[in-house]
Structure 1
Amino acid sequence: MTLVPERRITLGGVPVDVRGFDEAVDLIASRPLAHESTPLAVASINLDHIHHFGTGSKWGQHLSAQSPQPTAHPTVEWLNLIDGAPIAVRARQIVGEDCPRLAGSDLITPLLDRAEQTGASVGFLGGSLETQALLRDYLRLARPALRIAGFWSPSREELSDPDACGRMSEDISAAKTDILIVGLGKPRQELWIAEYGPATHAQVLLAFGAVVDFLAGRVRRAPHWISEAGLEWAWRLVLEPRRLARRYLVEGPSALLRIMASRVEPGLPLTTDAALPAVGGDT
């Protein structure tokens, strides 16, 4: 089953898929049942993603579906969902209809619900050992029927070591993980998925950033009215100013200019065959 890119636009050099909430949940949750040879990778497209993977950025070609470089590596199929409010606004201007925000933190609850219903196993890659301990406790109490494949908390050194990443992907595969939630921060999580995701043999790879912290209760989500106003970035900046100031106050504005300059462009195929370097970058 290959996704049809009929509702795909390009913003700031990044392919963006326009999907409804229920449609996205169905696409993702049904993937483990399809037993496809190509895993489905899901990315949240916001200004931070445009900064790392958009036109002219350091990693701009590494997730590109149009790279001319051949590779012997198996690939992943990307579903790029709208996350940031500026992305939703610009997409609506281009397609002429509402383009809902589909943040990983909103999608994760129905996706875990569906995993419980279908028996799909879920693994978690990323987060500190302390965070994962809290997450284990939460899942044991809140979701006793959920099949947990395992938890992996690699260090920065391990993430920069291709051999260590290869061994970790083999461990994830041996655990028979159907859905792998990857919370390593951008751009590392997307690069890790593109390079090592196929070797995990997970059917779904979710690049969902801080979802592990949200589920574990380590980071509070913004109140609904703040998210609806498109100000969740400000909420997170107040909570973590030292870590997020550069992202939101320096890198974000230049990414915003890129998407505002975007025009309607032809859609791109969903499968990428770009070869990737060793995983690195900032979280």
Structure 2
Amino acid sequence: MSDTITRLRLGGAPVDLLRYDDAIETISSRFADASGRPLGVASINLDHVHHFGAGAHRPDTVLHDGEDAPVEWLNLVDGAPLAAAARRITHVEWPRLAGSDLIDALLERAEGAHVSIGCLGGTAETHGRLELRLAQEHPALRLAGCWAPDREQLADGDACRAIADDIAAHEVDVLLVCLGKPRQELWIERYGPLTGSHVLLAFGAVVDFLAGRVSRAPHWVADHGMEWAWRLAIEPRRLAHRYLVDGPSAYLAVRRSVAHAAGSLGLERRAAG
């Protein structure tokens, strides 16, 4: 893998361009690395652009970047519009790297590296199913703990710090943070360093996929950029506003990024790891 990662901005959100194998290597190389800031991994889709991109208006939804930021962010392309925009700007085909695409390989790496994982988000019932599946498919992987805070706890700074301290006490190397956007990214930035975890994966519904509570769209649906429609059909009440109200403006912001880049590739280079 190259020593640098190409970064561009889509709809105002930073996006790091990586192949699948390079993403797995970049993330797993940090599993046992306690030498610096934790690595936060985010999936950049239209929902992310809505919350954190150029159109975001809430001052509390800001993710800090740069060497003085509390967390080092790796921002992976997720969603067909983002992948298409990256292709138009760079003239190179880039894969979608959703958390659900990466998680099985990352769990295999964690098992082989003898590092522990934990999960923040979901329900106690979901955690029970998750524990059963991991015991069956990754018997050597240590699940250090699972935490299922409610919304009231997540809105309380003292409660969040107590959760982070408890995660640290359980010595979790890799933490799955499945709280939904924008809560999971903001939680990682504010409290992630307190957990002592080396890698924090902002992977949304991955805990439900792993536990078998929610099924992923068939490959042919995802390959045609229609996974959002599949999920909307399954969970219309929860996802209708995200996809039908917030999504169009985020899509237009991404399209404007492509138009802006037509005359000049605004690509950045960042160190890998």
Normalised by the length of structure 2, the TM-score is: 0.92
Instruction: Give secondary structure in 1 for the equivalent of 2:36.
Output: coil
Which residue identity lines up with residue 252 of structure 2 in the other structure?
L
Q: Distance in 2 between matches of 1:32 and 1:202?
A: 8
For structure 1, list consecutive stretches of 5 or more residues without a partner in the other structure.
Answer: 271-283
Q: Superposition pairs for residues 185-196 of structure 1, below 5 Å?
A: 185-196=180-191
Q: Superposition pairs for residues 272-283 of structure 1, below 5 Å?
A: none
Which residue identity lines up with residue 43 of structure 1 in the other structure?
A
Name the structure 2 match of 1:181: 176
- Which of residues 206, 223, 227 in structure 1 aligns to 2:222? 227
Aligned: 1:172 with 2:167: yes
Name the structure 2 match of 1:80: 75
Q: Distance in 2 between matches of 1:217 and 1:196?
A: 28
Name the structure 1 match of 2:40: 41
Name the structure 2 match of 1:274: none
Instruction: Give secondary structure in 2 for the equivalent of 1:131.
Output: helix
How far off its partner does 1:266 sit?
4.7
How far off its partner does 1:142 sit?
2.0
Deviations 1:237-272 (A, max 9, x none): 0000010011111111110000000124252768xx
Which residue identity lines up with residue 28 of structure 2 in the other structure?
A
CA contact 1:5–1:17 (8 Å) conserved in 2 = no
How far off its partner does 1:216 sit?
0.4
Name the structure 2 match of 1:98: 93
Evaluate the alpha carbon distance shift between residue 27 and residue 269 of structure 1 in structure 2; reply closer, same or farther with a 3 A threshold.
Answer: closer
- Which of residues 128, 145, 149 in structure 2 aligns to 1:154? 149
Which residue identity lines up with residue 94 of structure 2 in the other structure?
C
How far off its partner does 1:56 sit?
2.9
Name the structure 2 match of 1:12: 11
Name the structure 2 match of 1:139: 134
Q: Distance in 1 between matches of 2:144 and 2:63?
A: 27
CA contact 1:5–1:267 (8 Å) conserved in 2 = no
RMSD, matched Cα: 2.0
Aligned: 1:265 with 2:266: yes
Evaluate the alpha carbon distance shift between residue 59 and residue 206 of structure 1 in structure 2; reply closer, same or farther with a 3 A threshold.
Answer: farther
Normalised by the length of structure 1, the TM-score is: 0.89
Q: Distance in 1 between matches of 2:46 and 2:4?
A: 22
Aligned: 1:237 with 2:236: no
CA contact 2:5–2:270 (8 Å) conserved in 1 = no
- Which of residues 203, 206, 212 in structure 2 aligns to 1:208? 203
CA contact 1:81–1:102 (8 Å) conserved in 2 = yes
Which residue identity lines up with residue 149 of structure 1 in the other structure?
A
CA contact 1:158–1:165 (8 Å) conserved in 2 = yes
Count residues with an aligned counterpart. 264
Name the structure 2 match of 1:116: 111
Q: Distance in 2 between matches of 1:141 and 1:59?
A: 43
CA contact 1:15–1:267 (8 Å) conserved in 2 = no
Name the structure 1 match of 2:28: 29
How far off its partner does 1:28 sit?
0.5
Deviations 1:63-89 (A, max 9, x none): 1427xxxx8xx6000000001110000
Instruction: Give secondary structure in 2 for the equivalent of 1:261.
Output: helix
Q: Distance in 1 between matches of 2:221 and 2:88?
A: 22
For structure 2, list consecutive stretches of 5 or more residues without a partner in the other structure.
Answer: none
Runs of 4+ in structure 1 off by over 6 angstroms are none
Name the structure 2 match of 1:53: 52
